[in-house]
Amino acid sequence: MSYAAVVGLPSLLNLRNASSCSSDNNVSRNQGSGGDGGGEDPYPNQYGKLVTVPSYKWRMVIAYDGTRFSGWQYQQSPPTIQCIVEKALTRITKQERSDLQLVGASRTDTGVHAWGQVAHFVTPFNYDCLDSIHAALNGLLPSDIRVREISPAVPEFHARFSAKSKIYHYKIYNDKIMDPFQRHYAYHSVYKLNPDVMREAAKHFIGKHDFSSFVNVSRNDRSRDPVKNIFRFDILEMGPLLQLEVEGSGFLYRQVRNMVALLLQIGREAIPPDVVPNILATQDRKELAKFALSAPPHGLCLVSVNYSEEHLRLPTGCPATSFGRHHSISKCKLLFF
């Protein structure tokens, strides 16, 4: 959907003010020349005449420590990642929240982390360079949220619906004593786990299945097709740390944490690996509850969201991707150390 169709008449006033934005943000004065990076839609102005409102879409890759946040999805209290990012964007772009239309690829839950969350937003103006807005965003955001990349996106790109696959990692620290430096990012299992039987069980998740047995009661905005395709489910051993890596076409509410919880029980050798296909076949969440509860959220991290090359191509007439920039000085001002 184009920007003008989404935001309507109030944004015409914002567009009029866009040309007076600070030059520090490198806002392009040529607002209608975005190549295929921008679109224009007719909309009646206050006098009834049709005017065109250009729109430009921007893609961000965001990393965050989810420890103190209530997940991604917008809410003001307690704070969420989307809420904090939107506040920074509204200050920098001078646009309203409804105009920005910020959308995230994955609605991570309370306490879940991300290295490769993807989101997009729109503006009624183009940028000549993205380095300044990138630096400004990270300057306003708290230190546990970072924008790793920001780039122009083609109109067809959608952070959520264009995704081909998502990769999640779940970390388990399997030792008698917990590493205090891992306590916010790995689940501590005091039971000795057998990685081999966990791998055997994880193979049963691979392929296209109805995962109704592994989804918690859905929220109203989380209605999903229960059939998902799991492309791989690997278990890596790194000393006392077990890293469970799962890639799939998509995941249901708490699906990954529920799969991990069952694998933990299997790794403790409390139940056999062949219980997985039996639970899948029932398509009943109550069946899983007989064996395991959800694994804690702090061990889970959204590592990456993958898209087709067509959706990731850079539109013409738009600035290059910003990966951040180094500060530099002309000469060393500290002569002695």
Residue type, 104: G
What is the Cα–Cα distance from 158 to 275, expressed in whole angstroms? 38
C-alpha–C-alpha distance, residues 237 and 312, integer Å = 33
Residues sharing a CB contact under 8 Å with residue 309, sequence separation 6 or more, in sequence order: none
CA distances in angstroms from 201 to 172, 209, 276, listed in the order given: 17, 15, 7
Catalytic residue among 24, 99, 109, 128: 109
Whole-number Å distance between alpha carbons of 168 and 42: 42
Could you tell me the two tokens for 327? Answer: 């500060």
Phi, psi of 139 (to 5 degrees): -70, -30
Name which of 299, 308, 164, 171 is nearest 231 in CA terms.
Answer: 164
Contact 284, 2 (CB under 8 A): no
Active site residue 109: yes
Supply the residues annotated as catalytic.
109
